[in-house]
Copies of this chain bind each other. A is one copy, B any other.
């Protein structure tokens, strides 16, 4: 293991503000208290530190308490790619369940804190609390869906569209956690964004500059303001979910 757990029994799921995004969603308060017993430890990570490495045996899954992490995969020839960015309340380590070893590397993008959920204990409890099992399945399923949308982005979209979709997806996830949806700090470098989107850093930079020129965003370093959300959504190929849709009046495509 690369981390050193810190026991901090004062903070528990039952009093954690992230309850509505994390594992305990949909549980009765009595059941959440039983979940408290699962999360005995947390770990502090400094920027750049790894939570686990590919090949490490799976002992736990993790939930981000604060901060941001990335997961990345390596190819034998040394190429590697960022596969996901992980915000508070999101679960990490699920790729290790399949064969008992993590498949990816998880690395903190900023100083972060992560809850440690012993996986064996979790499975035992999930058998006893159907709502907990159900929530876990939902989490895994959404993770699948997110990866599959990411596949769609890498498979069918041009660089510009991928970047717009990425910014909007980040915006939505931040908004769901109570942050501003139109102004935030990018915790990841241009290199990491490019890796995640399957494009080169120079292209990321050019596209961001182009977005800024055309008034879609304002960007200074890693601080970004989304100015024209509708324009970004149009680029990303989806309608703006926040906007009153006029789609009833749009011509209907006959098949």
Query: Which chain A residues have a beta carbon within 8 Å of chain B's beta carbons?
Result: 73, 75-81, 83, 94-99, 103-104, 123-124, 126-128, 130, 133-134, 136-145, 147-152, 154-156, 195-198, 237-239, 253
**CA A127 to CA B99, docked complex, whole Å:** 21
**CA A144 to CA B58, docked complex, whole Å:** 15
- Copy total for this chain: 2
Q: Is the CB of A195 within 8 A of B141?
A: no
> In the complex where A96-B141, A103-B148 touch, is A75 in contact with B123 (Cβ < 8 A)?
no
Q: Is the CB of A155 within 8 A of B198?
A: yes
- Given A104-B148, A127-B130, A151-B151, output 20 extra A-B contacts at Cβ < 8 Å: A73-B148, A76-B237, A76-B238, A76-B239, A77-B237, A79-B237, A81-B156, A94-B141, A95-B145, A95-B148, A97-B138, A97-B141, A98-B139, A123-B133, A137-B140, A144-B144, A147-B151, A154-B155, A155-B198, A156-B198
